[in-house]
Chains A and B, each alone.
Chain A
């Protein structure tokens, strides 16, 4: 799997569109990485799954229109920019994600 992520801009098919319910997140393993993918009212968002605080599972977080709240201690991140929203602090990485033929595709830049 790590050979796959070595290329510069690679789109990976990571799952079926139908498997991510409205305003929820699901996570996916890609090599060492774990990415959380969310279905928003108008599109998709993908960020690191592990919260920078204590690695809380962000895919399990509460999603509003454009942000997600970590289920463990409540840090909030923008799903558009990855920035921390409730206070200053470390944000998360965002990824490009798109919908093709009923599948979700994720763009990983190595």
Chain B
């Protein structure tokens, strides 16, 4: 029946970077020659389901936490992602789309994933300041801002979305009222009895519920900001923050412009194809057999079918069972399928306030409502999905409340977001020998969507592991050996190299990924008096430069404390000219980067620079940034340049579990950003503060104040003791911020400031004495043959091959 020609499967244009657009990319996998993903919003696809986390107090999530996939995922798959780009026009015949900037994008198939827009009723003054919808990160930002000074908030709409918004506001300590038109909350998912229990549960969380209130208009204040709501019947509610959550409307603007068949959404057939053969639609914008879905699970199912349609591997989408879980802490609510029918049984427990109902139609499971006690929701959802025959509904309800993950049938779907069944998870655990939830999520993708099934995944894992606790972080995952176990092996047999560890216990021999970690481990334990093996080091550490995306390298000379001289700058300039280096750049670490250098040029460049390695490529001490301090600054309280230069000299050349960056700043204005460094020293009246575990990279964290000391010398001593403590105790690739989060500042204080300090400093001195302060000296004495070169390029022919006619 398909008239889509698989031969043409080539360029796919995905319009809209929501959950639908991302799911389509995910399912297309390698089946398209080229994928272009056009995102109207200026962000990579994120998890809208968990948008509320951007509001959750005390520490709201940031958008980065919600991204469905990191940027590298798209890059790795060659997906051309256009952020902040709108498709204005589409020509299915010509196979071109026009963006808002007028750019033309070619396609063989276009997939509309344009989602929906919040429904805003035509009330008087809805555009007053302080009135918001709840749909994207920008809305959250504004709600957060207004909530900070709001005295009373109103949420219009008592559905799932409205309740989540109200809960978020209430947990920001803003008195909140939900205003609902109907006589019960969540009328689409709940029956009257369930809804009757939900309202008091919300009130207990500090959310007032006003039912059967029709909002007639908003009342603006003299400053243009909302001051209240006006209801039909004349009553009012004072409020200075309003969130409108009355529903959504499929975004069909583009579809309409190109004349696709539209009812409520863009009409699609069972292949997800619209009225034009090479245009598909998936997600909240699509209408299939008269249904427009507004939740994620069906969207993912549609995306899978759409990808198959495009790949010429036709499949049939037969619709999905709607289900909903309320993400309001303290109120457990799960509903699926139909809320009501003639045949239903319900169990109510007045004491615990729980309500469990199973709806049966023609002898088959058709719906469920679980409030206050959602045990067994997976089992019931599975029965509803299969329309399982139910002889005794009460018995099934009772079974469900006793069920554990182990009772689920293999075909039961555990992860609704990614459509992963129990069988697949158990299979992956068994065949892959998986030992931690994190691993199971990574391998199966179950739990990688909204995350609500993660507890179930963990339960399945624990059943498979017969109750044994989860596995720890392995330094060598192939052999399942932790850092501590491996350190034990090194000490017990007095091993001096990665090869010796491999020979002893097999670590590092299978995939090789842990070899750099093993190399660090053995060097650390032996105070840098180990046998150095270059094959155990990442390419960066073999040639002492950072590899770039085109296979060239970068050169960052050491510039202690960010201080340089005319002489150095002149030599750098000469090198750049002579070697025609494509880019010279001042780095974020207060030094200079020469980018785009070929491997074989490295030794000569190092020679002519006459500077030492800045270790910008290594898991090692990187930089110590400084500000101008007392020498020049009118506010300076400490000589930050001097201390920074000294500290860098004392730490440089030391390899560490992950990179270590430091800063010394002359006063709490913090111009060198010491609060957010692995080690940060801040001059204060009468001494120095020492901060550790700060970060301002992918994670932002203010360092913990380790101690305050009275002299620069003492500050340096504490910093070095902490460095050694971190070197000895952190997991490989664990930054100080992760380490401090894990063990806590108290434990670090005890280790670094307590009696052990002298010993830490002694071990630091031993390691430092044996460390190579400047690996760039290998330009004179290469560590391996052809360290910076290829083999002979003059290949030579060896006689005519046997039997070859030449």
Contacts and interface: CB of A to CB of B under 8 A. Distances in A.
Interface in B746-804: 784-786, 789-793, 795-802, 804
A22 B76 contact: no
Nearest to B508: A64
B551 interface: yes
Contacts of A55: 550-551
A63 B512 contact: yes
Contact of B792 (A15, A24, A89): A15
Given A21-B784, A64-B508, A72-B547, A12 B795 contact: yes
Nearest to A62: B512
Interface in A27-83: 27-30, 37, 53-57, 59-65, 67-69, 71-73, 76
A67 B797 CA distance: 28
A7 B539 contact: no
B30 interface: yes
B796 A71 contact: no
B35 to A, nearest CB: 16
Contacts of B529: none
Interface range on chain A (Cβ under 8 Å from partner): 35 or more
Instruction: Among A56, A64, A105, find the residue whose CB has the most chain B CB atoms closer than 10 A.
Output: A64
Nearest to A56: B551
Contact of B804 (A10, A86, A88, A104): A10
A17 to B, nearest CB: 10
Nearest to B30: A89
Interface string A3-31: 01001111111111011111110111110
B741 interface: no
A26 B790 contact: yes
A9 B801 contact: yes
B739 interface: no
Contacts of A53: 76
B798 to A, nearest CB: 5
Interface in B498-548: 508-513, 515-516, 533-535, 538-539, 542, 547
Interface residues of B, number: 39
A73 B795 CA distance: 30
A53 B30 CA distance: 12
A27 B790 contact: yes
A34 B416 CA distance: 46
Interface in B442-476: none
Instruction: Among B511, B538, B550, B784, find the residue whose CB has the most chain A CB atoms closer than 10 A.
Output: B511
B596 to A, nearest CB: 15
Contacts of B510: 64-65
B797 A10 contact: yes
Contacts of B806: 7
Contacts of B785: 18-21
B402 interface: no
B791 A19 contact: yes
A106 to B, nearest CB: 8
Given A28-B792, A63-B535, A73 B76 contact: yes
A28 B804 contact: no
B30 to A, nearest CB: 7
Contact of A28 (B538, B790, B797): B790
Contacts of B796: 12-13
Interface of A: 1, 4, 7-16, 18-24, 26-30, 37, 53-57, 59-65, 67-69, 71-73, 76, 85-86, 88-89, 100, 104-106
Contacts of A9: 801-802, 804
B235 interface: no
Contacts of B789: 26
Contacts of A24: 534-535, 542, 784
Query: 7 tightest CB-CB pairs across the interface, nearest first?
Result: A64-B512, A15-B791, A23-B535, A60-B539, A13-B796, A28-B791, A9-B801
15 contacts: A4-B795, A7-B801, A8-B801, A10-B798, A10-B804, A14-B792, A21-B534, A21-B784, A22-B535, A24-B542, A24-B784, A28-B791, A57-B539, A65-B510, A73-B76
A7 B799 CA distance: 11
B72 interface: yes
B538 A62 contact: yes
Given A12-B797, A13-B795, A18-B785, 11 more contacts: A10-B801, A10-B804, A14-B792, A16-B791, A16-B792, A26-B786, A28-B790, A28-B792, A56-B551, A62-B539, A63-B535
Contact of A67 (B512, B538, B551): B512
A102 to B, nearest CB: 13
A62 B515 contact: yes
A88 B538 CA distance: 24
Contact of B72 (A12, A62, A73): A73
Contacts of A64: 508-512, 515
A37 B786 CA distance: 13
Contacts of B802: 9
B549 interface: yes
Contacts of A67: 511-512
B804 A14 contact: no
Contacts of B76: 53, 73
A10 B804 CA distance: 8
A64 B498 CA distance: 11
Nearest to A11: B798
Contacts of B792: 14-16, 28
B801 A29 contact: no
